[in-house]
């Protein structure tokens, strides 16, 4: 690539539209995971959190602060991936967050709401 072709580079608008949707899914997954985690640890206790770093942070500074800070950090990292056009790693991370964090908490909280 020459200097002129780099200067006139125009990103594909369709790719950025898809990337924006992936980023929104990532942000929604972070918010949902944070809320479900808070509900789970409030009802069952801090011992149900499977992430040892997050569990230790919750013991040290309380669940709301630990969850808020960890989710804000995740959102900032996701934004950096989005803005620097690392869309595939962002999509993989969003999928992992939904599959590994949100779905298990939905099962736990769902059983809590359905149980008599």
**Per-residue model confidence as pLDDT tens digits over 13-28:** 888 899 999 999 999 9
Q: Quick check: is 24 in a domain? A: yes
Q: Quick check: is 52 in a domain? A: yes
109 pLDDT higher than 90: no
Q: Quick check: is 8 in a domain? A: no
Range of the domain at 47: 16-114
Could you give the angle at the alpha carbon of 58 between the alpha carbons of 53 and 59, nearest 5°? 100
The pLDDT-based confidence of 4 (bands split at 50, 70, 90) is low
Angle between helices 13-44 and 63-83 (to 10 degrees): 170
Position 8 scores a pLDDT of 47
The pLDDT-based confidence of 2 (bands split at 50, 70, 90) is low
Total tally of structural domains belonging to the chain: 1
């Amino acid at each position: 690539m020459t200097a002129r072709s780099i200067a006139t580079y125009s990103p594909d608008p369709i790719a950025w539209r898809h990337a924006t949707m992936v980023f929104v899914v990532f942000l929604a997954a972070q918010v949902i995971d944070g809320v479900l985690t808070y509900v789970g640890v409030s009802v069952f206790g801090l011992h149900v959190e499977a992430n040892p770093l997050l569990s230790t942070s919750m013991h040290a500074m309380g669940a709301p602060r630990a969850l808020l800070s960890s989710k804000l950090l995740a959102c900032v990292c996701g934004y950096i991936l989005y803005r620097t056009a690392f869309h595939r790693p962002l999509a993989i991370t969003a999928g992992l967050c939904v599959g590994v964090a949100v779905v298990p908490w939905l099962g736990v909280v769902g059983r809590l709401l359905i149980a008599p």
